[in-house]
Amino acid sequence: MHPDDEQAIRTTLAAHTALWTRHEMDEWGTYFTENSDFITHRGIRWRTRQENIDGHKDVPESVLPQKKNYTQQVLDIAEITPEVALVHTRWSWPGHRLPGAEAPEDRGGLITLVMVKRQGRWLIRAAHNTRTNGLDDFTAGRTTGT
For residue 137, pLDDT beyond 60? no
Residue 138 in any domain: the answer is: no
- Of the pLDDT bands very low, low, confident and very high (cuts 50, 70, 90), residue 144 is very low
Q: What is the pLDDT of residue 135?
A: 55
CATH code for the domain in which residue 9 is found = 3.10.450.50
Residue 42: the pLDDT is 86
Q: Is the pLDDT of residue 47 over 50?
A: yes
pLDDT digits (tens, 9 = 90+) for 3-14: 999 999 999 999
Share of the chain above pLDDT 90, in %: 71
pLDDT in tens, 73-107: 999 999 999 999 999 999 999 988 888 888 888 99
> What span, in angstroms and rounded, lies between the C-alpha atoms of 97 and 86?
31
Which stretch of 51-55, 63-67, 138-142 has the lowest confidence by average pLDDT? 138-142
pLDDT in tens, 116-131: 999 999 999 999 999 9
Do the domain assignments include residue 142? Answer: no
Q: Which domain holds residue 54?
A: 3-96+106-131
Bigger pLDDT: 142 vs 76:
76
The answer as to whether 113 is a domain residue is yes
Identify whether 120 is part of a domain: yes
State the average pLDDT over residues 36-47: 92
Our count of domains for the chain comes to 1
